[in-house]
Chain A
Amino acid sequence: MAVKNFILVCGGTACESSKGDEIFKALLKSAQKHGVQDDVQIIKTGCFGFCEKGPIVKVLPEEAFYVEVTPEDGEEIIAETIVKGRLVDRLVYKDAEKSKSNSEKIKFYQKQYRVVLRNCGLINPEDIEEYIARDGYLALEKCLTGELTPEDVINHLKISGLRGRGGAGFPTWLKWNFSKNVAADQKYVVCNADEGDPGAYMDRSTCEGDPHSIIEAMAIAGYTCGANQGFIYIRAEYPLAIERLNIAIEQAKDAGLLGKNILGSNFDFDLEIRLGAGAFVCGEETALLASIEGKRGMPIPKPPFPAVKGLWGKPSIINNVETFANIPVILTKGGEWYKSIGTEGSPGTKVFALTGQIENSGLVEVPMGTTLRDIVFDIGGGIKGGRKFKAVQTGGPSGGVITEQFLDTPIDFDTLTSIGSMMGSGGMIVMSEDDCIVDVTKFYLEFCVEESCGKCSPCRIGTKKMHEILEKITSGKGEMSDIQKLKDIGKAMKTASLCGLGQTAANPVLSTLKYFEEEYLEHIQDGKCRAGKCKDLMQYKIIEEKCIGCTVCARKCPVNCIVGERKTPHFINQDKCVKCGACYEACKFDAITIS
């Protein structure tokens, strides 16, 4: 009997940690109980992207899109949707207008275009057959049967215009060509899955949801440049991605798609996983290579570039996860096809991890050139709780803010740089009026202080000094001269640091100073934080007219700084107040304000 229905259960990290696996098992059990196990195939997939509303379960062909599912719902999904063909109304996703949507109509997906995430949420990443059924390993086969020569591969990549997705946007074909043209007894292919930008998880999801696409692309890179050994460098903090990659590598070996004499072509290619150990700087390519070599992950000056002199001194191609994931499709559909997506200077799509104060946080993939307005308001559903948009930070600790005035700018590598931010790897943090720009900037600097490897002084000392100044400003001790100091240190770090970390660490400061200088000034001159995030600048005050003198606040105050007679208005001694907020919480008459 043919399978009538498919149930796709999200097995991405966010859903999996909200009982995804139990849901999967509950569905299997109920299917057995109702005797429909042969009519329905239940598949655990990679991330659907809609992590905000997870765990997600999708039923095909009905396109039923169930959100926030619990293991207890498994029984009802089988009994209703599979056995009786009816939707379980209470689980169906409803958009802001409360109208129910099937998965094709959901606004979150409408402006998206999935190339990199083509298989995520569709196939079981732990089954190589499912990848193969969706044209997986076809590109590698074309290479090994001689249909695509190494020159053809380079040519397709050149026509496609693919630029590296790890941040810098370097043309991929050029990198591969360098390595191809160097003569050496040994070459390597390396995948950068370090994803150190905190608050971004595109690469993690791709590794979890479609690991074979990376393996295939790396083998193609080996074929093109003459390398027979590859390494995937991934953060130890990503256990699920590591597990799925390991399974995929084993399956590819068993299928004869990795190892010796692949598909009888005399081409050998082996792949190994190497674990990172929590150092952001190891995302930088030369530091990453040092780390694979088992050393402290410190960058070295370039040139020579890794493509010429890399791992153990041998030519090494190093690309980002998303860059690799694009390559098999480019080769099966052709460079021209890829070029037709996106913008002139940045063809293709980009995956963003949309997070922060946004209704629908999740993973989104859009053609390059999509505007921020489309991403934040159409796909993302706008700002959480209907608050006012303030800015979006892209490029993580190396990037900058995009403000309201640029909401309609088409986003690609070049436009982002021209407005003082950068593409980075794809983290997109949305901020609302409730977020303090200076506070968030301080957060990034604190991160860079911790992560600077310390090799060169502009970065080591510069990040520390900048952080100190920001600390001063957010605690109400800032001086007007601090603004110029920040700018000067930033400029010095940009020109004098050895690697990208130090060269870009000042970007969040410089960019927010450019667009939000008045917020810095408010902190310094008026001692005011308009978002109310900087605790030291807050003042709790009792409104005389509203206070009935119930004494509740005075009894709650841990430092006894509220004075006043019973039944008369109370006062707060500002010098002693530690801003704990206890009085504010305690007052039943709304007589206490924060300013």
Chain B
Amino acid sequence: MPTEEKIELPKDLLEFIAKWKDKQGNLIMILHKTQEHYGYIPRAAAIELAKLLDVPLAKVYGVITFYHFFKLKKPGKNIISVCMGTACYIKGAGDLMAECETLLGCGVNCTTDDEEFSLQGVRCVGCCGLAPLITVGGEVYGKLTPDALPAIIAKYRSK
């Protein structure tokens, strides 16, 4: 078994853990905070959390893998989320997804080789009035057709 790399959890996360440590059902909230910091849940951080909270590592992983929101792999610099909720699907989200795959040269739930972009599908971001839409780093681009995508992606590509 490879030796585990060590990780030093950041201060605000440690403070958060201290605040939540004695609350029942704290694991998911702490995982959210961890992912907020790293963009995903690094294995070394999961090991640290298991120790700090005194729960088996298997339980931590059991929870992480159950929920779609938690990521185990480091995402690219920009996360492109294509809404695959019903309202967006009906209005052609499938075509947006296919075009994103072609433009980025990477499949869904994957990251481009240069680590610039990750592509994922999400289930409704609650702006169905703007369907079909994608979000990039929290910014919403609504009422899209595939031909609008190259310009949007270009905006985020670092020079």
Contacts and interface: CB of A to CB of B under 8 A. Distances in A.
Interface of A: 13-14, 17-18, 51-52, 54, 195-201, 204-205, 236-239, 241, 274-280, 291-297, 312, 353, 355-357, 361-362, 393, 396, 427, 429, 431, 435, 440, 443-444, 447, 453
B25 A51 contact: no
A276 B89 CA distance: 23
A278 B126 contact: no
A277 B127 contact: no
B87 A17 contact: no
B87 A361 contact: yes
Interface in B14-54: 24-29, 31-32
A296 B86 contact: no
B67 A356 contact: no
Interface residues of B, number: 37
Contacts of B130: 14, 17-18, 51, 54
B98 to A, nearest CB: 10
**Minimum-distance CB pairs A-B, first 10:** A51-B129, A199-B86, A277-B67, A17-B140, A198-B85, A355-B87, A278-B69, A294-B25, A277-B69, A294-B27
A362 B140 CA distance: 17
B149 interface: no
B142 A199 contact: no
Contacts of B138: 239
Interface of B: 24-29, 31-32, 62-63, 66-70, 84-91, 122-131, 138-140, 142
A429 B86 contact: yes
Contact of B87 (A54, A239, A296, A356): A356
A18 B130 CA distance: 9
Nearest to B67: A277
26 contacts: A13-B126, A195-B126, A196-B123, A198-B85, A198-B124, A199-B86, A199-B88, A204-B126, A237-B69, A237-B124, A237-B126, A274-B25, A276-B69, A277-B31, A294-B24, A294-B29, A296-B66, A355-B128, A355-B129, A361-B129, A362-B129, A429-B86, A429-B90, A435-B90, A440-B89, A440-B90
B86 A393 contact: yes
Contacts of A393: 86
B85 A279 contact: no
Contacts of A361: 87, 128-129, 131
A276 B127 CA distance: 19
B69 A236 contact: yes
Given A54-B129, A201-B126, A278 B68 contact: yes
B13 to A, nearest CB: 16
A43 B92 CA distance: 35
Contacts of A51: 127-130
A199 B85 CA distance: 5
Q: Which of B62, B90, B131 lies at the interface centre, i.e. has the most chain A CB atoms within 10 A of its CB?
A: B90
B124 A201 contact: yes
B91 A13 contact: no
A525 B80 CA distance: 40
Contacts of B89: 199, 440, 443
A261 B57 CA distance: 41
B128 A294 contact: no
Nearest to A447: B123
A355 B25 CA distance: 36
